[in-house]
Structure 1
């Protein structure tokens, strides 16, 4: 029969082992729910309430931080989540530039990062660091290809570009330069501006002087509005295209009549009532309904990017648990590998097929050609 000393030791050992055996999966979330990117970050922060509370039979704890749209604050938030909270994965941040600045910390710590940002630069070109990043939005080339095809089909020969002077606008400039050259479309003006700018009169005048058949504005969130309203105020009569960065209802409210007739390619979430039934439509409809019940209004598509991150993790966790326990490097490495092998996972934005070379994984099921008609989103005829 064991002595009291042995029993005490056994009880102590059991108490120490129990938390490890039943350790929660910890997921950090960094969003820009305040500051210039807030129109993107608010629905993302709100969506945390709808993320899975269990994955692979294990409880999930979410630690949500706001970076105020400040890249320096993003770095601090990431370091806190990695060094102090010891999270198993991080969803975020909201901004493209913010995300580019923290990739190294995700890689150094071996922590999978699910980035709900616009620029494809977070995953392309693939590197040893970027293999820890998974992008829950459509890559720029997938969206751009739909726009360029539409331009070519409608006889557009020249275009002007106005984009943000950051990774989002810069990558769009690169992608459009490549695709338009192949389509026989000339870029006759290429201007950039800062998101915090209060006027872009100079840039828009340069575009107007080039007399393009159409203009593409490559800017995320609220920054997508001012270039278009400025062009309209200055009398521009040609077609105006936007990227999926403008795919939110405040774009309609802020732009008013100036954004009528805008063409963009974005996820089916904008036009759920018009698209055919599909697994993605079912999931997106459920997400929108659940979000609306809690917050009183429908979410922007950017919120769906965080919701999809939760679905990707939920799909990958059971496989990762076979190789390690939450809170360990083995689990994080196995989680990264499982995410990289995601196959035909339907979500709010489309269907994910991830590979070592493609950490976004969307195909044509992840986009729709959409226009603004009567102040509302509508499928382009």
Structure 2
């Protein structure tokens, strides 16, 4: 009798342990890592990327979500260290970022080796077949540059000069400009570069102005993009100036007339009702402005939001296969991301496939012009 009771006790204990494990699995928390350059030379952009997380939901499909946000200071070595820590210690299910192209390139091999989906939030060239866990929430550089070059053609531009960052992003914009200009019959007459940390681009501007180009393409972003733009205006340049949009706060009236290509979210309140992104961009920006004020409007916040929306749409399918915190869940999450179809974000519409881990089209871009410290949507 005593042996029977003992055996029953052991069975009960095992059953209780199994129930405990099942309960723990059922309540497993989704962990999303975010690698953002909050300090360093791209800090002005990092503020936007980070702000989005303050208004993201705390649950996805009934599962609680934990956001682990870390600053890489725009340093690739720090990006790598953070990614390894997130994967090995925090056991994140996905990574949003990094927010700088060079840092994305550094983290990408680590994320793929660990089978951890990574949604880049800076322009990144990659092969989704070779790097199946890499995705992107950012418009391809060529998509954006093509819009600017098409506008140059309409305005009768015959020559264009280039001034851009001396880094991977600057290279991407230059290469896209060179290709698009050649196809459009526009002659590229200069290729000048400067560092994100430089305090002046006067030398580059002087070299460009000697060429007397009809237009100047600036391959830069954030506050540093104002350096050549303001210098061109100050020296009386009358041609077209085209640039990334995140620099008005510093440039102000000194950059009036500059044309930029950006995602719809930047001018969410000027979009026509027919624009697919109007509703999600408006809802997101109203939440952000309610939290941080009118200056919170930022294309970079929109990239963080869209990366989250992609994960939010993929999680329910992944949960049918496995629980968060496991490799099986990350593998399933990757598969679900790859099947994304017509997901409308603040920057455009995403449709992915095994050979396309971005899937954005012309709906992901609008042309805007600087007018007294504000962006005006162009037809």
- Whether TM-score is above 0.5 comes out as yes
Equivalent position of 1:328 in the other structure: 326
Q: What is the distance in 1 between the residues matched to 2:50 and 2:270?
A: 28
Matches within 5 A, 1:225-264: 225-242=226-243, 246-248=244-246, 251-264=247-260
Residue 87 (1) aligns with residue 96 (2): no
Q: Tell me the SS of whatever aligns to 2:355.
A: coil
1:288 to 274, 285, 290: 285
Q: Deviations over 1:346-380 (max 9, x none)?
A: 11111111122222211111111111123311012
Residue 300 (1) aligns with residue 298 (2): yes
Q: Tell me the SS of whatever aligns to 1:178.
A: helix
Matches within 5 A, 1:190-209: 190-209=191-210
Equivalent position of 2:140 in the other structure: 139
Bigger shift: residues 277-286 or 48-57 = 48-57
Offset, 1:111: 0.5
Q: Deviations over 1:250-309 (max 9, x none)?
A: x11211232100111111222222211144211111111111111223331100100111
- The alignment yields a C-alpha RMSD, in angstroms, of 1.6
Q: Tell me the SS of whatever aligns to 2:277.
A: helix
Residue 180 (1) aligns with residue 185 (2): no
Q: What is the distance in 2 between the residues matched to 1:59 and 1:147?
A: 42
Offset, 1:51: 2.0
Q: What is the distance in 2 between the residues matched to 1:20 and 1:341?
A: 26
Equivalent position of 1:374 in the other structure: 372
Query: Are the counterparts in 2 of residues 247 and 266 from structure 1 also a CA contact under 8 Å?
Result: yes
Query: Are the counterparts in 2 of residues 50 and 307 from structure 1 also a CA contact under 8 Å?
Result: no
Equivalent position of 2:109 in the other structure: 104
Equivalent position of 1:72 in the other structure: 77
Offset, 1:65: 1.0
Q: Which has the larger radius of gyration?
A: 2
Q: Deviations over 1:194-216 (max 9, x none)?
A: 10112222222211111111100
Query: Are the counterparts in 2 of residues 158 and 185 from structure 1 also a CA contact under 8 Å?
Result: yes
Say how many residue pairs are matched: 372
Q: What is the distance in 1 between the residues matched to 2:112 and 2:21?
A: 30
Q: What is the distance in 2 between the residues matched to 1:106 and 1:230?
A: 41
Query: Are the counterparts in 1 of residues 218 and 225 from structure 2 also a CA contact under 8 Å?
Result: yes
Bigger shift: residues 49-58 or 335-344 = 49-58
Query: Are the counterparts in 1 of residues 310 and 337 from structure 2 also a CA contact under 8 Å?
Result: yes
Equivalent position of 1:224 in the other structure: 225
1:22 to 19, 27, 33: 27
Q: Tell me the SS of whatever aligns to 1:325.
A: coil
Q: What is the distance in 2 between the residues matched to 1:6 and 1:303?
A: 53
Q: Deviations over 1:74-94 (max 9, x none)?
A: 111111100101111000111
Query: Are the counterparts in 2 of residues 52 and 314 from structure 1 also a CA contact under 8 Å?
Result: no
Q: Deviations over 1:50-87 (max 9, x none)?
A: 22322233222111111122222111111110010111
Q: Tell me the SS of whatever aligns to 1:228.
A: helix
Q: What is the distance in 2 between the residues matched to 1:258 and 1:127?
A: 45
Q: Is there any run of 5+ residues in structure 2 with no aligned partner, and where?
A: none
Q: What is the distance in 2 between the residues matched to 1:212 and 1:187?
A: 9
Residue 171 (1) aligns with residue 172 (2): yes
Equivalent position of 1:189 in the other structure: 190
Q: Tell me the SS of whatever aligns to 1:312.
A: helix
Query: Are the counterparts in 1 of residues 251 and 373 from structure 2 also a CA contact under 8 Å?
Result: no
